[in-house]
Amino acid sequence: MSSKKKAIVIGAGIAGLASSIRLAVQGFEVSVFEKNGYPGGKISEFKMQGYQFDAGPSLFTQPENIAELFELAGENMDDSFRYQALPISFKYFYEDGTVINAYTDNRAFAEELAFKTGEKAEKLLRYLEASKKLYQNIAGIFLNNSLHKFKTFFSADIFKALKTFRWKYLFKSMHELNAKHFKKPQTIQLFDRFATYNGSNPYKAPGMLSLIPHLELNQGTYYPKGGMISITNALYQLALKKGVKFNFDQPVERIIQNETNVQGVVVQSKNIFSDLVVSNMDVYFTYQKLLMNQSLATKVLKQERSSSALIFYWGINHSFPELELHNIFFSKSYQEEFVSLFKTRTAFADPTIYVNITSKIEPDLQAPIGKENWFVMVNAPANVGQDWAGLRTHYRNAIIEKLNRILGVDLAEMIEVEEVLDPVIIEERTDSYMGSLYGTSSNSKMAAFLRHPNFSNKMKGLYFVGGSVHPGGGIPLCLKSAAIMSKMVAHDYKNK
C-alpha cells in the first residue's frame, strides 16, 4: 500500500495540469478528475473537413512558464514541445484605412507608429520601458505570490517595489494613462485593447494593466508548433510521465468535508479520500456545486464578471497574404463597445474583431492547400440570459460586413465550413460561470486584491487554481496560480 500522501485535482484545464505536475514532483500521489473526455479545458482543438482549429486561447507568451514545469520535473522540454518567436505580434486595421504592424522589435514598432500615425517613436519606447519596470518591480511580485498571506507584504522585495510605485497606476484608468502618454487616437486604442486580455474595460480598469504589453512586446510573442493544443498535449504527457492518474468523463459530484478539513471527493457516488483537494473549477461553481455553500458562492459574485466571447470557426477557401497570424479590426466607437459589454450587455453594432489564422505559420498542417483556418472572435458580454441565437446572427452579419468593407471581399462566399462557440456553450463545457473567460474582471482599483485566494480560509487542505482566482485569467496567470498553490502546499505539508 502506498505511503505517499494523496492529492486530488478537480479539472484538467491548464492550471489543473500544471498543478498535477507540481504536486507529483513534490511526492504526492495525484489523481485528476475531469468531466470532459479530454485534457486542456479551454485549450482544446477540433477538425473539420481538413481544417484544424484551436478551440480556445490563441495567443502564446511567456514560454518560460512551460519550461519551468519541465525543468522542475527533470525532463527535456525540446523532446515534446517547441515554439518559435514571431516578428509581428499583431496586425491592426482601423476604419480610417490605417494599418499598423506591431513588430516585436520595439525600435521597428516605434518607427512603424511614427510612419503610420505620426506618434513620436520615443513615446512608444518610453511606454514599453515603463511597462517593463512596472512588471519587474511590482507586478512580478504580486503575480508570483499570494496577496492573501501577510508575509507577502513584509518581504524585502515588497518594500523595494513600493519605492518605485507610481499612484497613477492605481488611481488612473488604463485609458486615462494611455491618453495622457500618447497623442494619436490609433495608438491609444491599440494600447487600451490590452485590458481585454483579462476580460476588462480599459475605461474602468486601473493603469496597472499597462504591464500587460510588456509580456507581448518586450518579452515576445510566440507560436507553439502544432498549435495551442500542443501546450495541452505536452503538459498532459509530462503529467503522465510523473505518474499522475487521469480520470476522464468523471465529474466530481461533491467535495467531502468535515468541520475544518477536506477529506476527498465523491465521484460516481463513490467516496475517494485524499489529503488535499485542488479545484481548477470556477470558484463560484466549486462553492455552489461541490461544497453546496450558496452563501460563499454568492460572495464571489460581488465582483463583476469578466467579458466572454463569441467565436466563429471558419474554413476559408481563399488565401489572404495581407493578414498575419494575429489580426485586429478595430471598432470606430471603442468606448461604446465596452458600455455594451459591461453595462447594457447587449449586441453592439460595430464590434472589434480578432482573426487568428494558424495556417499562416503551418499551412500544410492547419488547412487544405491554398485555404485558411480562421478563428474569428468578438468580445461578448457574460451570459445573463440573452437571446444568443439572435446574437449569433447579429454578430455574424456585423463581422462579415466589416471585414468585407476593410478587406474588399465577399467573405460569406468563401466560408465553406463553420462552427460557433458562445458564452452558454463555454459555461457548459468548462464550468466558467456565465461564460466569463477570466472569472472576474479588473474593472476596479482593488480588483487584484479582491480575487479569491489560492486556498480556503474555512477548510484546511482545499486549494484553488485557474482563471477565476488569483492572480487571474489567461495562460500565463493560470500557470502562475498553480505555482502559488504548490508553494503553499509545500509549506503546509512540510512536516506532515
Tell me the per-residue pLDDT of 215-236, one tens digit each, with 9 for 90 and over: 999 999 999 999 999 999 999 9
The pTM (predicted TM-score) of the whole model is 0.94
Least confident of 182-186, 188-192, 442-446: 442-446
**In terms of domains, do 310 and 408 share one?**
yes
| pLDDT tens per residue across span 117-141 | 999 999 999 999 999 998 888 776 7
User: What values do phi and psi take at 140, rounded to 5?
Assistant: -55, -35
Asked if residue 148 has pLDDT above 70, the reply is no
Q: What is the pLDDT of residue 145?
A: 77
| pLDDT tens per residue across span 316-371 | 999 999 999 999 999 999 999 999 999 999 999 999 999 999 999 999 899 999 99
Q: Is residue 437 assigned to a domain? A: no
- More reliable by pLDDT, 300 or 366: 366
| pLDDT tens per residue across span 40-87 | 999 999 999 999 999 999 999 999 999 999 999 999 999 999 999 999
Q: Is residue 102 assigned to a domain? A: no
In the block, residue with C-alpha cell 503538459:
235
**In terms of domains, do 320 and 424 share one?**
yes
Q: What is the pLDDT of residue 493?
A: 92
Q: Is residue 116 assigned to a domain? A: no
SS3 of 10, please?
strand
What Rg do the C-alpha atoms of the chain give, in angstroms? 22
Q: Which of 430, 460, 482 is the last residue of a domain?
A: 430
| pLDDT tens per residue across span 372-409 | 999 999 999 999 999 999 999 999 999 999 999 999 99
> What's 361's domain CATH number?
3.30.519
The answer to whether 91 and 101 have CB atoms below 8 angstroms apart is yes
Q: What is the mean pLDDT of the chain?
A: 93
Asked if residue 150 has pLDDT above 60, the reply is no
Q: Which three cell numbers stand for residue 278?
A: 485542488
At residue 465's C-alpha, the angle toward residues 460 and 468, to 5°, is 115
Q: Which of 216, 241, 273 is the last residue of a domain?
A: 216
Query: Which amino acid is present at 75?
Result: E
**In terms of domains, do 286 and 369 share one?**
no
Residues 6+ positions from 116 with CB-CB distance below 8 Å? 98, 99, 100, 186
Query: How many separate domains does the chain show?
Result: 3
Axis-axis angle for helices 121-134, 174-181 (nearest 10):
140
> What's 284's domain CATH number?
3.50.50.60
**In terms of domains, do 418 and 479 share one?**
no
| pLDDT tens per residue across span 452-468 | 999 998 899 999 999 99
- More reliable by pLDDT, 55 or 446: 55
Question: Strand order in 308-316's β-sheet?
Answer: 99-103, 88-93, 326-329, 353-356, 372-380, 308-316, 415-421
| pLDDT tens per residue across span 249-291 | 999 999 999 989 999 999 999 999 999 999 999 999 999 999 9
**In terms of domains, do 178 and 132 share one?**
yes
Nearest by Cα to 329 from 403, 267, 385: 403
Q: Is residue 287 assigned to a domain? A: yes
Q: Indicate the pLDDT class of residue 1, thresholds 50, 70 and 90.
A: very low
Residues 6+ positions from 22 with CB-CB distance below 8 Å? 69, 72, 482, 483, 485, 486
Residues in the chain: 496
Q: What is the pLDDT of residue 410?
A: 97
Axis-axis angle for helices 14-25, 229-241 (nearest 10):
20
Q: Is residue 82 assigned to a domain? A: no
- More reliable by pLDDT, 311 or 3: 311
**In terms of domains, do 399 and 357 share one?**
yes
Q: Is residue 147 assigned to a domain? A: yes
Q: Is residue 171 assigned to a domain? A: yes
**In terms of domains, do 152 and 252 share one?**
no
Residues 6+ positions from 429 with CB-CB distance below 8 Å? 36
Query: Which amino acid is present at 160?
Result: K
Mean pLDDT throughout 29-43? 97
Q: Is residue 465 assigned to a domain? A: yes
**What domain range includes position 371?**
304-430
The answer to whether 103 and 216 have CB atoms below 8 angstroms apart is no
